[in-house]
Homo-oligomer: A and B are copies of this chain.
Amino acid sequence: MPDRPGVAGMSAVRKPFRREGEDLRRRALVEATLACIATLGMEGTTVREIAIRAGVTAGLIRHYFASKDELVLAAYSHYVEKMARRSREAVNDGPPDPLLRLALFVRTNLSAAAVDQTNLALWAGFIKTVRTSPAMAAIHLGGYTGYRADAESLIGAAFAFIKRRTTANELRRLGIALNAIIDGLWLEGSIAPGEFADGELTTIGIASASALLGINLENAGLA
């Protein structure tokens, strides 16, 4: 018994609508899905709830996506790309100094924008699906290895800048470690936001990266 249109065929007011373009509708649905997962978790993410948030009715979802799974897939892809883009843009828009760029990389990924419960909820909501769905796993791996490649590249540039010799193997290990520090701090901060003072995670991140790489990044990256 739907409640919106008349109680029992009484008024039967049909929801007015406009025909928006496909791009707009797909994006609206994808973003509504992300908002839904972030707010209610994957279980609370029903086609009806998504539709409400996108300002449409549930039936429209199937017009643009073959199934709910496909919509979730599109949403995850969108999310991964957005995250990767933000990290890359922040560094690319930064100064050319490799040390400053490295510090900026750490800072950006530990900024208040990155470290919040919404992101964590999204991440956790998706992660479990990554295990069961090969399509999700592919998207995830793509984003992840790209992320680590960025870290390695930045470290390599910084080492070259200070004329420190290194090997591919060492670079790989340091890339993994730097990523681990960032991920770990991100995780801690996202789960228990109240446990850390403002900027504390960033400070720890920079200090840890400095110790890890043997480069002093403490005074770098503060434009």
Contacts and interface: CB of A to CB of B under 8 A. Distances in A.
A179 interface: yes
A207 interface: yes
Interface residues of A, number: 42
Interface in A188-212: 188, 191-192, 195-196, 200, 203-204, 207-208, 211-212
**Copies per complex?**
2
B128 A124 contact: yes
Nearest to A141: B192
A93 interface: no
A6 interface: no
A121 interface: yes
A52 interface: no
A185 interface: yes
A192 B145 CA distance: 10
A57 to B, nearest CB: 24
Contacts of A121: 128, 131
Nearest to A208: B177
A120 interface: yes
B144 A191 contact: yes
Contacts of A90: none
B204 A176 contact: yes
A114 interface: no
A140 interface: yes
